[in-house]
Structure 1
Amino acid sequence: MPLWKINTRDNPDIYATAGAVEGLAKTKIPETGVSPEEAYNLVRDELYLDGNARQNLATFCTTWVEDEVHKLMADCIDKNMIDKDEYPQTAAIEARCVHMIASLWHSPEAEETIGCSTTGSSEAAMLGGLALKWAWRDRRKKEGKPCDKPNIVCGPVQVCWHKFARYFDVELRQIPLSEGSLHIQPDQLKDYVDENTIGVVPTLGVTFTGVYEPVKDICDELDKLQIKTGLDVPVHVDAASGGFVAPFLQPELLWDFRLDRIKSINASGHKFGLTPLGVGWIVWRDSSELPKDLVFNVDYLGGNMPTFALNFSRPGGQIVIQYYNFMRLGWIGYREIQSACAENAQYLASKLADLPEIEILYNGKGALPCVCYRLKKPKAAHYTLYDLSERVRMSGWQIASYPLPADMEDTIVQRIMVRHGVSHDAVDQLFLDIRKSLKYLSKNNIKWSDAGPSFSHG
């Protein structure tokens, strides 16, 4: 019999307990429990096997927060956002955030417009898409026209829009890329938009490359199309990442509610909004843009409330932290953080541009704080960027590598996100590790490597 089984001490060492010696349960709930200390330490040890989030430069998501954020999250662990009757102050904080974000995006009715928090930008995007579909369907019915073949037009979009199209029976018309063009070209719209188009979705911060799509030019092109054809096509801006970058780094850029054609905008609080994972935002231009059929009045725990999110019960902590960030940082604080990220991204791009193997596609200037590049001569190399990702991961770095969408599937790129918490020294070390890895790959024939795409859209 193992020694730990005959140990009669009340408080044995955690690593001499059954869980440590025999392992934790994997397929069914164990018959008996253990002490909180044992459960905590052994589960925490499992988490050590994950990658280091601070070195995960594939993700857009926040990986560094202040100690006060941890405390507020703990204070909110029992708050259910949907129960606005029981937690009215948390609901008030959510409403404040909506109005502040609406103001940041220049809503003409920032203090009155409608919007809400969501579990992430994907849910927010789907709400925006649903509002477009419902509004289009209502118009078609009033005109006595069929409404069974809706479509939505976009460029290279995040997977949530593919999900929206499939889940809600909408044709996704994705405009393909071409060499020298990493986003929608406005003059392409005429070939994709018709009377069944519920809306056009430009992306402020394309997932694959980090660039902004030309929102104003797209709206201008739709204005011309309306004059020519009579089609009045609304715009929803997917600002999942750029919605909390452009107002601070490119305040003169016209992409938001200053353009009349834009009806709604979504963004992710847990990306450049700097909150922990689990919050997105959707704001409509004004309350008339959200069809009433999408709003449910629900009796819940003694209160009656309107709800129009896809999820119901969800935690309130991330919303509270969004408000904390607004109070803690202010406009100037956000600008300083995003400027520091952009400066470090541009510094990394300048270093990578000096490497003979690398061709920079986006250098961190004018859009998101990130870098996107490809191999200059991929066919001549006996390795791929997938191999480079695999190699630098040996030093802890996680870098996204993937093919571009149609019609550039043969082009493999890498994208490095420079977020809050990524310092100048970290960028220097990453560059040294990339350079060292490229030297190794150039000297060692690994053409039979099975390394594949490593892509993070979130």
Structure 2
Amino acid sequence: MTSGEYPSPVMSDLDALAREYGNRFLLEPAPDHRLPRHGMRAVDAMRLLGEELLLDGLPMRNLATFVTTWMEPEAQRVVAENLHRNYIDHAEYPRTAEIEQRCIRMLADLFHAPGETTGTRTQGSSEAIMLGALSLKWKWRARREAAGKDTTRPNLVFGGDVHVVWEKFCRYFEVEPRIIALQPDKYVIGPADVEPHVDENTIGVAAVLGTTFTGHADDIAGINDLLVRLNEERGLDVPIHVDAASGGFVWPFLYPDSEWDFRLSRVRSINVSGHKFGLVYPGIGWLIFRERGDLPDDLVFYENYLGKRDATFTLNFSTGSSMVLAQYYNFVRFGHEGYRYIMETMQANARHLAERIAAIGDFRIIGSEKEEQLPLVAFQLAGDHNYDEFDVASQLAAERGWMVPAYTLPPKADHIKIMRALVKLTLGHSMVETLADDIAAACQVLAEKGTLHPHDRSRVKTGTGY
């Protein structure tokens, strides 16, 4: 045997060495269908998970999701040090409960609530929307019962630009969805779209501030004026719930004079995602009511088995306190001016990206600088090409690891294909330049080789993160 040569160990020797050096996970398939008979060393379990997650995309290149992918180290420490603290246990963690209420009061003030109000922390905007819509149904039913009228046919009016959770609510809680279809040249809704669908059985109108599809807002002020008129002329008492999952932390800072919130009399509740432009990791959402009376008493439950009598208004129960505390950290860390600076920074980079993509010559930008919009770029191919938006998205992912979604609009505009790039704080100016260059390069490659695969609508992914 020459110097540097070693005999090959048998498998039992490898097993022993693996146990000694912490590499056991290299010799076994990942546990799958059942719990493994024996556990493994902590370092092995950590490295096994690490290798699995290497196959995921990089969050910093995920321009599909609205959800926050980076927080400051100090905020990460707040999160890590409070994962074990149960948010729902107000008896044992009264300061956490107080901090939640501080956040609710700050958001109510940000949304111009006229007086004392209430709200709740939720797991995300999906839970907040479920609770807000239940409140609409309960209030409608109480009004109908007081008038001695039928309560068996509630309906809810909203546009095709909403998140799927609104249809889920209608199916789960037996409410007729009256969905206003989008049009090829109109991706939001206004009063003229809403009016034909409203009647005495309408529990409310859901309006969107910052749509998933293009980042624009429904005409909430116009819808409010319509509902005020219908109340005066026909006695229809129809409230508005604003789905501000994405826009609730954008409009107050970029468009402070735009009236979409409690400044409008028919707006009775608002949801917002703290884990989107509230700049917190998943999952934190908020539901804010205009007045305490907008939350029906019989939707609030009381229990005392955690140490004292507590009121709960949630679909989930136990969950960590970390994200509530992280939200408060952001509020006191950034303040109003800090949030404004962050939103303006993202908006400036979004406009620069739009200019660069338009300059490629293959795309049409949806919207303009004059329109109120989330910090994103929605765009689509213009003219004839031997490839489509799904091919561009796939090419970007395969060659450069960018996650830029391609998707179609809802009926009746479902033949319209769009791409969308979220411009969050992690996408700085130099990254914008690189992304634009990579989009141009992807188009050049596709122009030479054509479509990558048959187009399958089941691959559509908008990356909302409610």
TM over 0.5, shorter chain = yes
Q: What SS class does the counterpart of residue 359 from structure 1 fall into?
A: strand
What is the deviation of 1:445?
Answer: 2.6
* Cα distance in 1 for residues equivalent to 2:179 and 2:253: 29
Partners of 1:269 and 1:279 within 8 A in 2: yes
| Aligned-residue CA RMSD (Å) | 1.6
The alpha carbon displacement at 1:137 in A equals 0.5
Structure 1 distance, partners of 2:29, 2:194, is 58
3-state DSSP of counterpart to 2:12: helix
Residues 230-379 of structure 1 aligned to structure 2 (within 5 Å): 230-363=235-368, 365-377=371-383
Quote the offset at 1:355 in angstroms: 2.5
In the alignment, is residue 60 of structure 1 matched against residue 58 of structure 2?
no
SS at match of 1:202: strand
Q: 2:20 aligns with which of 12, 17, 26?
A: 12
1:397 paired residue among 394, 402, 425: 402
Per the alignment, residue 105 of structure 2 pairs with: 99
Q: Does 1:116 align with 2:120?
A: yes
Amino acid at match of 2:464: H
The answer for the alignment partner of 1:227 in structure 2 is 232
Letter of the structure 2 residue corresponding to residue 396 of structure 1: G
**Which structure 2 residues correspond to residues 45-194 of structure 1 after superposition, within 5 A?**
45-109=51-115, 112-155=116-159, 156-194=161-199
CA contact (8 A) 1:387 1:449 kept: no
2:386 alignment partner in structure 1: 382
Moved more, 172-181 or 48-57: 172-181
Mapped partners of 2:163, 2:97: distance in 1: 29
Structure 1 position 3, deviation (Å): 4.2
Decide which of 216, 221, 225 is 1:211's aligned counterpart.
Answer: 216
1:422 equivalent to 2:430? Answer: no
Q: Aligned partner of 2:141: which letter?
A: R
Q: TM-score, normalised by structure 1?
A: 0.96
CA contact (8 A) 1:372 1:414 kept: yes
Gaps of 5+ in 2: 1-7
Instruction: String of CA shifts for 1:226-248, please: whole Å, max 9, x gaps.
Output: 23322121011000011001111
CA–CA distance in structure 2, aligned partners of residues 203 and 369 of structure 1: 16
Residue 362 (structure 1) shift: 2.5
Question: Is the 1:80–1:315 Cα contact (8 Å) retained in structure 2?
Answer: yes
Distance 1:11 1:447 in 2: 46
CA drift of 1:448 comes to 4.5
Q: What is the CA distance between 1:349 and its match in structure 2?
A: 0.7
Match of 2:460 in 1: 453
Maintained 8 Å contact 2:62/2:403: yes
- Contact 1:345 1:363 (C-alpha < 8 Å) held by counterparts: no
8 A Cα contact 2:184 2:416, kept in partner? no
Structure 1, unaligned runs of 5 or more: none
TM-score when scaled to structure 2? 0.94
Please tell me whether the aligned partners of residues 386 and 454 of structure 1 are also in contact (alpha carbons under 8 angstroms): no
1:433 to 433, 438, 444: 438
2:301–2:313 CA contact under 8 A, matched in 1 = yes
